[in-house]
């Protein structure tokens, strides 16, 4: 069976070909530029779990260090996880895990930088997501009800679409 429907390949549909099938966008004609993206997410838990992690008393060891390293490693593997992402040479991956006693829990922030033909938003979001999942894995012996959420892009610079800075009310 052949597909006969022809799709308008407008910029909003850049990952679809003229038949409406998924495709990797051709970025070969783009000039490499410096691009950076920052994403954040939150991991919420009981105050007792938060206290144990802060005190270094988790059964699996260094919860925050392991989660930070997992986030860095994940950013470097994004193209292997997200089907239409381009593999990118990353020049910087920074993952910060900040205690938030009022949550209680942690805010995870990832900043990724490259000089390439396409941006690093997905790498930053992947870093936050995997760091949060790793934090859960490292602390699940203490609490199974840990919540992961509010993962979003905070900012991006570079590229054709220009800079983006998330507004507080978004």
Residue by residue, DSSP assigns 13-61 as GTTB-TTS-B-----TTSPPEEEEEEEEEEEE--HHHHHHHHHT--TTS
Q: Which listed residue (62, 137, 163, 169) is catalytic?
A: 137
94-133 pLDDT, tens digit per residue, is 999 999 999 999 999 999 999 999 999 999 999 999 999 9
The answer to whether 135 touches 63, Cβ cutoff 8 Å, is: yes
For the chain, what is the radius of gyration of the CA atoms? 19
- Report phi then psi at 127, rounded to 5: -60, -45
The answer to whether 40 touches 103, Cβ cutoff 8 Å, is: no
- Residues paired with 34 in a beta bridge: 115
18 is in an annotated binding site: no
123 is in an annotated binding site: yes
Going by CATH, does the domain composed of 26-158 fall within 3.40.640.10?
no
Domain extents for the chain? 26-158
125 is in an annotated binding site: no
35-94 pLDDT, tens digit per residue, is 999 999 999 999 999 999 999 999 999 999 999 999 999 999 999 999 999 999 999 999
**Binning pLDDT at 50, 70 and 90, where does residue 18 land?**
confident
8 catalytic, yes or no?
Answer: no
The candidate with the shortest Cα–Cα distance to 114, out of 24, 32, 6, 55, is 32
Whether the predicted model's global pTM rises above the 0.85 cut: yes
- Report phi then psi at 99, rounded to 5: -65, 140
Is the N-terminal amide bond of 104 cis, ω within 30° of 0? Answer: yes
């Amino acid at each position: 069976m052949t597909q006969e429907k022809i799709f308008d390949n407008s910029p909003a549909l850049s990952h679809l070909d003229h038949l409406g099938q998924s495709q990797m966008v051709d970025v070969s004609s783009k000039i490499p530029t410096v691009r950076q993206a920052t994403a954040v997410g939150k991991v919420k838990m009981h105050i007792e779990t938060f206290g144990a992690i802060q005190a270094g008393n988790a059964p699996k060891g260094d919860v925050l260090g392991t989660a930070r390293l997992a986030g860095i490693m994940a950013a470097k593997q994004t193209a292997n996880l997200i089907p239409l992402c381009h593999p990118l040479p990353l020049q910087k991956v920074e993952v910060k895990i900040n205690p938030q006693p009022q949550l209680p829990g942690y805010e995870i922030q990832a900043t990724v930088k490259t000089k390439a033909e396409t941006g690093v938003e997905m790498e930053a979001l992947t870093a936050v997501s995997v760091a949060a999942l790793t934090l859960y894995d490292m602390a699940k012996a203490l609490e199974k009800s840990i919540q992961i959420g509010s993962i979003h892009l905070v900012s991006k610079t570079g590229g054709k679409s220009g800079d983006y800075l998330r507004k507080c009310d978004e």
